[in-house]
Structure 1
Amino acid sequence: MSKLLAGTPLKLKDGSEVDAGSYLDGKVVGLYFSASWCPPCRGFTPKLKEFYEKIKKTHPEFEVVFVSRDRESDCLVNYFLDHMGDWTYIPFGNDQIQYILSKYEVKTIPAMRVIKPDGQVVVKDARTEIQDKGIEDPEALWEEWMAFYD
């Protein structure tokens, strides 16, 4: 993912901006497709946040990138700041958003893909896996993912 998004800005919780290529280098990346106006997204986001916080303690190499389907910048930022974990997002209006949606064939939200540095998909439906297995035993799910990652 770091190679695919090199040169793309990412925003952090504190409002600062980093280059995706360097920031994601060496990390296992989950692309999270969501929007503030989407009720199923609002239901899943707290589960992802809980999973993320548990996994991050033992696997600091895990990073989530929020790819918003919001229609306005303020909606994206408020949703991110109020409901999401300590991860990153691609700023509203960035051309990479449409590219990523198309590349990973995201038709509905919420959706999540776990991606290798070169952009190859490791887990196509990480959302369902987190919902079904990730809260109860996040470490076991992580190990499943890593078996496909290498």
Structure 2
Amino acid sequence: MVDLFLNRVLVENNWDQDELNTEREICGILENRILMLFFASAECEKCRDFVPVLNDFFKRLKDPAYIEYPKLLSLIYISLDQSEEQQERVLKNLHKRVLFLAFDDPYRKELQTMFKVKDVPTVVVLRPDGSTLSPNAVQDICRSGSDCFCNWQESAELIERSFMLNEEFDNLNLRTATDPVKRLKYKTEDDKRKKRWWKLWGAGKNANKGEEEGDGGWDSFKEKGGRQRNMEEKMKERMKQKNV
């Protein structure tokens, strides 16, 4: 489906009408999405009546005011108008996230021929691989509204990337998928450093204690030696007195 618009210029229906013309930009906005091609004309009364319905359909699937996660859906307006003023009239009523081909782009007619569009309004729904899911989904949209997207999604086997809710992460402080491994690694290293530090500190403490004990023993030894010398001197004095 992305190949359908590669080397083409898609325009965003915003105030600045930004152009998407690089492969990266086209892939970023169309890849892995269901694509709706809206063929219409401002002169067609049915188209004018259908535009508000389609606009509401698209808003309920893409606008954050209605849903938390925008659906993987893109809408491109393929104008079959007779003038650029008529095309602008239709775009004015469509959502700002709708894309369109410039009025002077001949690829509009090629797409009309490619998908055999004879009546308007027509909404061709394409799978991400470019195959046709619905040749004209106008009646489905009018009848089922945004609920029909679920059927398209199931048929296209489209994988939602935003399947995990924010509240599931409320109690987690993980910044990346590798954070648990990193934290375990650094925790282990910290534990090793702590153990080494405690061993060194303990060895130093024991050494100091040994030194203190050694100093105490020497003091005790000196004290005992002093008492012994005093006793010897006293004995010598007594002997001298007896001899006298």
Higher RCO, Cα 8 Å, sep 6+: 1
Corresponding residue for residue 42 of structure 2: 36
Alignment of 1:97-136 (within 5 A): 97-134=108-145
Deviation at 1:75, TM superposition (A): 1.6
Corresponding residue for residue 21 of structure 1: 26
Aligned partner of 1:68: which letter?
A: S
CA distance in 1, matches of 2:118, 2:26: 26
> Identity over aligned residues, as a percent?
20
Corresponding residue for residue 5 of structure 1: 5
- Give SS of 1:3's match: helix
TM-score normalised per structure 2: 0.56
Aligned partner of 2:117: which letter?
A: V
1:29-69 Cα distance to aligned partner (Å, 9 max, x none): 10000111110000001000001001113443211000000
CA distance in 2, matches of 1:118, 1:147: 14
* Runs of 4+ residues deviating >4 angstroms: none
Shifted more, 28-37 versus 1-10: the winner is 1-10
Corresponding residue for residue 87 of structure 2: 76
Deviation at 1:116, TM superposition (A): 2.3
CA distance in 2, matches of 1:48, 1:143: 16
Gaps of 5+ in 2: 158-244
- Structure having the higher helix fraction is 2
1:94-115 Cα distance to aligned partner (Å, 9 max, x none): 1211111111110000000111
Q: Does structure 1 retain, via aligned residues, the 8 Å contact 2:128–2:156? A: no
CA distance in 1, matches of 2:139, 2:7: 30
Corresponding residue for residue 145 of structure 1: 152
Which entry has the higher C-alpha Rg, 1 or 2? 2
